[in-house]
């Protein structure tokens, strides 16, 4: 008798990422604050204390609406493309996709997702960084939609995609490290026969995917070293007020601050990545289990 299984609906990845973002947003905010410093004056703890002392604990959630908007564009797109194409291709073949195809699919999905999510990412960066600026220089976006509308009206539609090349490149690396590695890790864990397709398996597989992007592991070190300069340039381009003429000019100006300027915000970015990845996949699997599309396997 055929067993019943459930597969994700195309928008589950976006919803799961929103749930994770609600839990890890303060770390993302601290990362942006550190990356937009011209000179390294404060570290992670000092920046957190300054934010809380000046604006209160809730200030750690500044820009949450834009962060959720980003997840519902960037993450929703990359998850939707990856899972839809993977399931479609898998139907016509015996067994799961080989890992190299998952990596290729993850790269394409992440690149498209990074581009689609750039406008929301820009507003997210600006809303998070706003409190650092003097009152007369603040943009004061009321929420994500207000930010998108005002950027398009005041700076032009083209400005909404400032930093898109960096966002797309970073999206490729992150998606391979998360979606492709999670898929492969879950497949390997289940193939041992010791664990069933439950919450603990999802946690183990997502943990393996998460450490693939964290500094303590060899492969995690490479991913972090590659991703962080792209993330710093992306943040600076999105937060700029016309001082950069393009990616190359931004990179040159950042380099003048020293080589370590490309690694600002590394600690909160690394700390955030682990719980964000784990929570995203745990939430995704629960959505799939309870609300997914029924399939016979």
Taking each helix axis as running N to C, give the angle between helix 118-129 and helix 12-35, from 0 to 180 degrees, rounded to the nearest 10: 40
What pLDDT does 214 receive?
45
Between 217 and 192, residue with greater pLDDT: 192
pLDDT tens for 266-285 read 666 666 777 888 899 999 99
Question: Residue 5's beta-bridge partner residues?
Answer: 295
**Lowest-pLDDT range, 89-93, 145-149, 221-225?**
221-225
pLDDT tens for 23-32 read 999 988 888 8
CA distance 59 to 22: 13
pLDDT tens for 41-63 read 767 788 888 889 988 899 899 88
Q: Which of 26, 113, 27, 9 is nearest to 71 (CA)?
A: 113
pLDDT tens for 104-114 read 999 999 999 99
- Could you tell me the sign of the dihedral formed by the alpha carbons of 277, 280, 286, 287, in that order? negative
| Residue 243 pLDDT grade (very low, low, confident, very high; cuts 50, 70, 90) | confident
Neighbours of 83 (CB within 10 A): 22
* In contact, 91 and 159? CB cutoff 8 Å: no
What pLDDT does 222 receive?
41
Given a cut of 80, whether residue 150 has pLDDT beyond it is yes
Neighbours of 91 (CB within 10 A): 8
Between 225 and 120, residue with greater pLDDT: 120
Percent of the chain clearing pLDDT 90 (strictly above) = 38
CA dihedral in degrees (10, 11, 17, 23; nearest 10)? Answer: -140
Neighbours of 214 (CB within 10 A): 19
What pLDDT does 228 receive?
72
DSSP 40-83: ----HHHHHHHHHHHH-GGGGGTTHHHHHHHIIIIIHHHHHHHH
DSSP 85-130: HHHHHHHTSSSSPPHHHHHHHHHHHHHHHHHHTHHHHHHHHHHHHG
pLDDT tens for 61-114 read 988 999 999 999 999 999 999 999 998 887 767 778 899 999 999 999 999 999
Q: Which of 2, 3, 86, 6 is nearest to 285 (CA)?
A: 6
Given a cut of 50, whether residue 247 has pLDDT beyond it is yes
Mean pLDDT of the 9-30 span: 93
Kindly state the helix (H) or strand (E) to which residue 52 belongs, with its residue range.
Answer: helix 44-55
Local structure of 5: helix, strand or coil = strand
Domain 4-296 sits in which CATH superfamily? Mitochondrial carrier domain (1.50.40.10)
Given a cut of 60, whether residue 212 has pLDDT beyond it is no
SS3 content of the chain, % helix, strand, coil (to 5): 75, 5, 20
What pLDDT does 297 receive?
57
What pLDDT does 74 receive?
96
| Residue 3 pLDDT grade (very low, low, confident, very high; cuts 50, 70, 90) | low
- Burial-class residue 275 by CB neighbours within 10 Å (0-12, 13-18, 19+): middle
| Residue 226 pLDDT grade (very low, low, confident, very high; cuts 50, 70, 90) | low
Mean pLDDT of the 135-155 span: 93
What pLDDT does 220 receive?
39
| Residue 133 pLDDT grade (very low, low, confident, very high; cuts 50, 70, 90) | confident
CA distance 124 to 268: 16
CA distance 274 to 9: 24
Average pLDDT, rounded, for the chain: 84
Does the pTM surpass 0.75? The reply is yes
What pLDDT does 270 receive?
64
């Amino acid at each position: 008798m055929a067993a019943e299984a459930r597969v994700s609906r195309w928008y589950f990845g976006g919803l799961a990422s929103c749930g994770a973002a609600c839990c890890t947003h303060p770390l993302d905010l601290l990362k942006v604050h550190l990356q937009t410093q011209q000179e390294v004056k404060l570290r992670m703890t000092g920046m957190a204390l300054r934010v809380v002392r000046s604006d209160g604990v809730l200030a750690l959630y500044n820009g949450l609406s834009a962060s959720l908007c980003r997840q519902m564009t960037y993450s929703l797109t990359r998850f939707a493309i990856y899972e839809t194409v993977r399931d479609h291709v898998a139907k016509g073949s015996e067994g799961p996709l080989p890992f190299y195809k998952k990596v290729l699919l993850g790269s394409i999905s992440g690149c498209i997702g990074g581009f689609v999510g750039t406008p929301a990412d820009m507003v997210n960066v600006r809303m998070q960084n706003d409190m650092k600026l003097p009152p007369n220089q603040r943009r004061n976006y009321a929420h994500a939609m207000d930010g998108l509308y005002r950027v398009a009206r005041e700076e032009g539609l083209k400005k909404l995609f400032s930093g898109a090349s960096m966002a797309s490149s970073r999206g490729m690396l992150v998606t391979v490290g998360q979606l492709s590695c999670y898929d492969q890790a879950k497949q390997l864990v289940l193939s041992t026969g010791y664990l069933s397709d439950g919450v603990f398996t999802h946690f183990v597989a997502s943990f393996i995917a998460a450490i693939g992007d964290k500094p303590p592991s060899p492969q995690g070190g490479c991913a972090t070293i590659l991703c962080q300069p792209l993330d710093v340039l992306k943040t600076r381009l999105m937060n700029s007020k016309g001082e950069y003429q393009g990616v190359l000019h931004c990179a040159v100006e950042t380099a003048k601050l020293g080589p370590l300027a490309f690694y600002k915000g590394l600690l909160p970015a690394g700390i955030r990545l682990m719980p964000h990845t784990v929570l995203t996949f745990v939430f995704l699997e629960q959505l799939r289990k309870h609300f997914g599309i029924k399939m016979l396997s």
